[in-house]
Structure 1
Amino acid sequence: MKHYTRRAPAGLDRRDDWRDHAACIGLGDLFLPRDEHHVDSTEPKRICAGCPVRLPCFEAAMKEEGTADQFRRAGVRGGLTPAERAALGRRTATGAVERLTAAEQAREEAQAKNGQAIDMIRKGVNDAQIAEVVGLAASTVGKIRRELGIPVQPVPKSIEETYAERTATVDGGHVRWTATSQQATLNGRTYTPARLAFLLGHGREPEGWVYVSCDRPGCVNPEHLTDRPMREQARQAVNA
């Protein structure tokens, strides 16, 4: 281990070094005593406190000594004794391990989330649902999807959304179909406006023709629609 306590010989062709400005120049016996077990570090520390290159001295010591214990370090360097530098080296090494462990854990968690997102993308789940379940940003899910080359799956609309988008309530409690198309597709099946409204209002597929029971033609208020079983039941009630 090298300790610089003297200026370089005059005429030596080299660049200026921070060691040339150390306050300990010429004080090798004080900073590096023969018996370090019974040495008083008060005076070396006092000199270090006013040294203009204390920081580079400290950095050089820690770099050279690494994680060595105090018995493999020597002298007061950067204002610290061998024991003090060893303790600091242990804390630094522990912190580095903790940071590395945390980074590795974060990397593993990210890989797990990405893997879960990939599985859901391949199953046809839409990006918004994946983002909510997995805990990723929707933009991240979209990026993964693009990398896989799998197109975005449209979010299927509910019957309530489909009906609300294509109808408007008018006077008298009637409902008018406002869409240009007289068909609506839901879960792969195509419905007329009346059959879609019946399904929404009665919770089942209509049987036979769907008729409007009010006096407004084309009304799609579910309460104003009947199918064959409902009309038969009404007739039986009248004939009873």
Structure 2
Amino acid sequence: MTSSHYAPDTLAPARSWTASALCRSIADPDAFFPTGNGATVQQQTNDAKQLCASCPIRMTCATTAIRENYQYGIWGGLDERQRRSLARVPKADLPAAIRTAWKRRTYDHHFDAYASRTVQIDDGHVMWTVKNTSVTVLGRNWTPRQLALWVGQGREPHGPVKTHCSRPDCVAAEHVGDAVVRMLRARQIKEVAA
């Protein structure tokens, strides 16, 4: 009797782990690939992660995305930044680290304060909808532009935060910048001109 390294044609093909994924039931796969910054993208990211939270294969999805270095999108309830932070975790410790990352992402006070006080209008602009010109989040006062920068950049502002689009009252995360953003924009303009 001889053995073959090939499976006979009568065997059914192996079923992919993705066949059980809940995201396969979503009509728009782009829902798991948010692009840009701001409240709309953050909401899309939160919605995708919410669906992942009840998916039966989210651990497999998350570990595969980390091991295979998937650059974009929401995989296994983790975004790009979360996966990058887990990339160097030893294989044996990865499931516990992923579970910790899932728990950490329960509620974003800054995003909630921003989203509940803004509305998106034409051409990607976002307007502040309340009369108060500051809001307290986790014991710190934020101006609308500072809060927009936090939502877009995930960090404290350095210097004054200003709008750099055609609408001076816009608070879209991608339309505001602090000293760091202005310096980077000036450098990019200089490089393009050279």
Larger CA Rg, structure 1 vs 2? 1
TM-score, normalization: structure 2?
Answer: 0.41
More helix by percentage: 1
